[in-house]
Amino acid sequence: MPRSSKIGTDPAAGGTAAERAYCHVKERILSGDLEGGELVSEGEIADSLAMSRTPVREAFLRLQTEGWMKLYPKRGAAITPIKPREADEVIEARTLVETHAVAALADDPARAEDLAAALLVIIERQQRAADADDLDGFAVADADFHGTIAAAAGNELLINFYRGLRDRQRRMTRDSLQRRPDTHDRILDQHRRLVELIKDRDAAGFGTEISQHLDDIHRH
């Protein structure tokens, strides 16, 4: 079994008021509840969370620093859309890390089989989310699928690097699902092909397939 079965997100519960406001707004961005270009005010968030504007202001500043929103004095904050360059860079990084992880299993058929089995369980989650028309649930499972592959090599530096991509990956997938109704089925079919290549320990084939998969889902 890979040393780490998946790459997850930090828990949103608990923490200071500023941390709770940060997690609340970021989750709304990732889930698509707040879309690119949409304006949101400190007062709206403060009222919804029953807190003062001060921690919300701190949360907004942090989200702006991370590139999720742009602040406009006396107007609020605009949610930053997904930029083409950002999408290209995320796709390139994911392709490199995931292909490396599969290549690391070339001489370990047992770990490759264990990884494939774990991924099939996640695909079942994705299928249930697709059947329920749960776009965000599908996007979260998609992030788990790819994060599990990235973690398979057991390289902690790469795992931490890939964890930093997870939120942007989830948002990109959610956006693709909203734009094209047939994306669920295409992702599921492509994920099943990726699993077969992992079983075969075909890193070269996987590299070609993952590149085509990410390009098909996020660039077209």
The helix/strand count (H/E) of the chain reads as 10, 3
pLDDT of residue 14: 58
Q: Which residue has the tokens 């919300």?
A: 56
The rounded average pLDDT for each run of 10 residues, N- to C-terminus, in the chain (220 residues) is: 37 74 95 91 94 95 95 91 88 95 94 97 97 92 96 91 90 87 92 97 96 88
Signed CA dihedral, 59, 27, 148, 206: sign only: negative
- Percentages of the chain per state (helix, strand, coil), in multiples of 5: 70, 5, 25
pLDDT of residue 182: 84
pTM higher than the cut 0.75? yes
pLDDT of residue 199: 96
Q: Phi first, then psi: what are they for 72, rounded to 5°?
A: -130, 115
pLDDT of residue 9: 39
> Rounded distance, CA 17 to CA 51, Å?
7
Is residue 32 within 8 Å of 174, Cβ to Cβ? yes
Is residue 218 within 8 Å of 172, Cβ to Cβ? yes
